[in-house]
């Protein structure tokens, strides 16, 4: 087989933690009929599945349960201020207006950290915290801990809106500290020793000037590695979050970030392996004269592949390796068959010999891991496994957030491994796809196809992507291809293309699930219209919507009132510790508020309506 540099710990860790259960669950054989029965049975059931029927605020406006007549009748009005703000008293509306207005002043947003520090000094911690709770914190954060957030979760639920709990504490450290932490955690001991012998690509190496991953990121919080004990703490926090989600609703989600659970070095290295592996397939396809088609449509002729690899110096029976498994009658394989080599090679170390396309030869990616690094990697996989099990036990779905492109292939792949194990009967683990990526469509279609072949529930959150500026700057500075679509319009097209593909898949097999996570009203309307065309009912609980707490209530609440499964990402955590995250959220809102006046106009409209009709003291009843 391929020339091997051995990394026994990696092999063992994978085999023990991931592949064994994967293989054993696959050995259960074809579950398609069982799956189908389960789906039909579970489509409108609780226990981890969303059940809008229990929601008091669900009058089902414009929605019918009869599939034959429901098509073309789903309609939601996003201009109705009364419907949008039914869950809010007038003080809350006023707070939203003030906060959004403040977010539109460049000076306040740019200097928000300094202003907050001054505020703390003048007012003292207690009064400052109170002020924050009445303003920014109160607008965007649900409370300090899982007990404090319950009233808000229940209220939103009563008005048809569920929760994705998102513990948002972020370390308040300086840029220098952040850079140092990243430098220390993204290089292996072996790499530190072997100067001049480094095979890693620029993109998958740590670069000091981009070590502070918080730079330019507004909508997401960032974890920087400091120790294994800290990762255990993060895991415990996520477990609490899962339990809180299970305890406060029957159909909740809990969000996690993989970078919180281990050393980023492993994510970097594994991402590089996956990307090179995939790129090599494309290279081989080119050798066979296949070019310009979608990744999933490319097929390699096996005999030619064997000849080519042998010519390159690879010692191994690729032909035999594939013909042992399922190969089509024409003797060809596609990208998924190719990727399956990663699953079935018990010796993961085989993988770590990767093709260098420029040199046209195979080369080892890693020399060796130290014992400590092997342990760190194994612990990361274990932590993920523990979280997935807790999610299952608590009837909670786990939403794995997407992060930077140099980590994301590994994050997505590890999530997929969890889906293979835990999504066999119902969707428990949700992956995230960032549609600002040029490769988003290939990623989505390949994973959907894999779920189809293997008989598990595809489950995904579709977002546009939060790290655009940072990604662009890094690619430019370090000289690799910008992974982001060239402009906003192409990101929009990509989003709708991926979304349409998943919606079609749902219509065809009723097995996939998607959360349309966006504040973009056009995209929400597009989804509703496609659902109409395809006859997909909100009550089937296959298509969900997601917005961030404190933003775009005029989208979330009318959707919820109309019976659509809609969720708010609900950040929570102590005031002091959530402030760094909130401070960056203020920057997001600046752009958001400059671009979209509609939310403020609707807030005004509702306040004026209440004033005119004597409802200024309106209290939401639930």
Ligand X SMILES: Cc1cc2nc3c(=O)[nH]c(=O)nc-3n(C[C@H](O)[C@H](O)[C@H](O)COP(=O)(O)OP(=O)(O)OC[C@H]3O[C@@H](n4cnc5c(N)ncnc54)[C@H](O)[C@@H]3O)c2cc1C
Q: Work out whether 547 is an interface residue with ligand X (CB under 6 A).
A: yes
In Å, how far are 191, 278, 357, 509, 574 from 351, measured between CA atoms? 18, 12, 16, 34, 44
Query: Nearest distance from residue 518's CB to ligand X, in Å?
Result: 4
Q: DSSP secondary-structure letter at 358? A: T
**How many Cα atoms within 13 Å fall on the side-chain side of residue 170?**
26
List 84, 548, 579, 593, residue binding ligand X (CB under 6 A):
548
What is the per-residue binding string for ligand X in 220-239, x denoting contact by CB under 6 A? x-------------------
Q: Which two tokens stand for residue 22?
A: 């994967």
Q: Is 545 in the site for ligand X (CB under 6 A)?
A: no
Give the chain's count of helices (H) and strands (E).
27, 12
Number of residues that bind ligand X (CB under 6 A): 26
From 85-93, 199-207, 259-267, 484-492, span contacting ligand X (CB under 6 A): 484-492
Q: Which is nearer to ligand X, 339 or 520 (CB)?
A: 520
Give the whole-angstrom CA distance, residue 390 versus residue 395.
8
Residues of span 420-439 touching ligand X by CB under 6 A? 432, 434, 436
227-262: string of b/e by CB count within 10 Å (b at 16+)? ebeebeebbeebbbbbbbbbebbbbbbbbbbbbbbb
Strands of 420-542 (E only): list them.
429-434, 459-463, 513-517
Q: Pick the binder of ligand X from 25, 31, 180, 520 (CB under 6 A).
A: 520
Task: Write out the two tokens for 347.
Answer: 């010796």
| 219 forms part of the interface with ligand X (CB under 6 A) | yes
Q: How far is the CB of 592 from ligand X (least distance, A)?
A: 7
Q: Which is nearer to ligand X, 465 or 560 (CB)?
A: 465
Q: Is residue 518 near ligand X by the rule CB under 6 A?
A: yes
476 binds ligand X (CB under 6 A): no
* Close Cβ partners of 65 (under 8 Å, ≥ 6 residues apart): 537, 539
At which residue do the structure tokens 């707490």 appear?
Answer: 549
Q: Return the number of the residue (271 or 491) whose C-beta is nearest ligand X.
A: 491
Residue 405 lies near ligand X (rule: CB under 6 A) = no
Judged by CB under 6 A, which stretch of 54-62, 265-273, 339-347, 458-466 contacts ligand X? 458-466
Distance CA 220, CA 337 (A): 34
Please list the residues that pair with 545 across neighbouring strands: 516, 566
User: By CB neighbour count within 10 A (0-12 exposed, 13-18 middle, 19+ buried), where does 593 fall?
Assistant: buried
From the list 239-247, 331-339, 369-377, 512-520, the region that binds ligand X by CB under 6 A is 512-520
Applying CB under 6 A, the span of 6-14, 43-51, 417-425, 518-526 interacting with ligand X comes to 518-526
Q: Which stretch binds ligand X (CB under 6 A): 16-24, 268-276, 289-297, 546-554?
A: 546-554
546 touching ligand X, by CB under 6 A? yes
Q: List interacting residues with ligand X (CB under 6 A).
A: 219-220, 401-402, 432, 434, 436, 463-468, 484-485, 487-488, 491, 517-520, 546-548, 569
């Amino acid at each position: 087989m391929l020339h091997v540099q051995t990394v026994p710990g990696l092999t063992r860790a994978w085999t023990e933690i991931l592949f064994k259960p994967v293989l054993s669950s696959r050995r259960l054989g074809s579950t398609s009929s069982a799956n189908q029965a389960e789906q039909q049975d579970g489509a409108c059931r609780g226990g981890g599945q969303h059940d809008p029927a229990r929601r008091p605020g669900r009058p089902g406006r414009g929605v019918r349960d009869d599939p034959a007549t429901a098509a073309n009748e789903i309609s939601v009005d996003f201009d109705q201020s009364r419907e949008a703000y039914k869950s809010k008293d007038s003080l809350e509306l006023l707070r939203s207006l003030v906060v959004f207005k403040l977010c539109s002043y460049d000076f306040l947003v740019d200097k928000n950290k300094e202003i907050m520090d001054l505020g703390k000094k003048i007012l003292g911690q207690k009064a400052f915290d109170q002020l924050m709770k009445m303003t920014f914190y109160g607008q965007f954060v649900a409370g300090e801990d899982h007990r404090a957030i319950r009233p808000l979760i229940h209220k939103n639920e009563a008005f048809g809106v569920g929760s994705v709990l998102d513990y948002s504490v972020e370390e308040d450290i300086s840029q220098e500290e952040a850079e140092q932490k990243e430098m220390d955690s993204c290089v292996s001991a072996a790499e530190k020793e072997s100067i001049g012998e480094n095979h890693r690509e620029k993109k998958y190496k740590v670069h000091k000037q981009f070590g502070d991953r918080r730079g330019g990121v507004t909508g997401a919080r960032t974890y920087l590695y400091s120790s294994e004990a800290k990762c255990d703490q993060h895991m415990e926090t996520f477990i609490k979050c899962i339990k809180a989600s299970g305890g406060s609703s029957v159909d909740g989600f809990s969000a996690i970030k993989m970078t919180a659970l281990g050393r980023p070095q492993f994510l970097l290295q594994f991402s590089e392996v996956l990307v090179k592996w995939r790129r090599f397939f494309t290279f081989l396809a080119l050798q066979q004269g296949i070019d310009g088609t979608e990744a999933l449509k490319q097929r390699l002729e096996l005999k030619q592949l064997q000849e080519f690899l042998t010519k390159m110096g690879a010692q191994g029976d690729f032909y035999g390796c594939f013909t042992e498994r399922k190969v089509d009658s024409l003797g060809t394989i596609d990208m998924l068959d190719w990727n399956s080599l990663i699953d079935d090679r018990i010796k993961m170390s085989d993988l770590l010999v990767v093709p260098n396309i420029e040199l046209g030869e195979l080369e080892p990616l890693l020399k060796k891991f130290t014992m400590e690094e092997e342990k760190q990697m194994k612990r990361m996989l274990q932590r993920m496994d523990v979280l997935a099990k807790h999610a299952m036990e608590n009837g909670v779905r786990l939403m794995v957030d997407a992060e930077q492109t140099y980590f994301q292939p590994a994050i997505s792949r590890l999530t997929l491994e969890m889906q293979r194990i835990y999504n066999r009967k119902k969707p428990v683990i949700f992956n995230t796809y960032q549609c600002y990526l040029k490769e988003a469509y290939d990623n989505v279609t390949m994973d959907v196809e894999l779920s189809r072949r293997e008989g598990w529930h595809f489950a995904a959150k579709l977002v546009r992507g939060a790290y655009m500026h940072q990604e662009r700057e890094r690619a430019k500075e370090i000289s690799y291809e910008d992974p982001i679509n060239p402009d906003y319009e192409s990101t929009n097209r990509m989003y709708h293309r991926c979304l349409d593909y998943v919606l079609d898949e749902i219509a065809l097999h009723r097995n996939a699930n998607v959360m349309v996570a966006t504040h973009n009203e056009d995209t929400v309307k597009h989804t509703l219209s496609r659902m109409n065309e395809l006859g997909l009912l909100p009550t089937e609980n296959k298509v969900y919507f997601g917005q961030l707490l404190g933003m775009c209530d005029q989208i979330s609440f009318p959707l919820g009132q109309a019976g659509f499964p809609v969720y708010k990402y609900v950040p929570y955590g102590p005031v002091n510790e959530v402030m760094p995250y909130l401070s960056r959220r203020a920057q997001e809102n600046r752009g958001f508020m400059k671009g979209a006046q509609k939310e403020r106009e609707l807030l005004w409209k509702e306040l004026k309506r209440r004033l005119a009709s004597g409802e200024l003291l309106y209290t939401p009843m639930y």
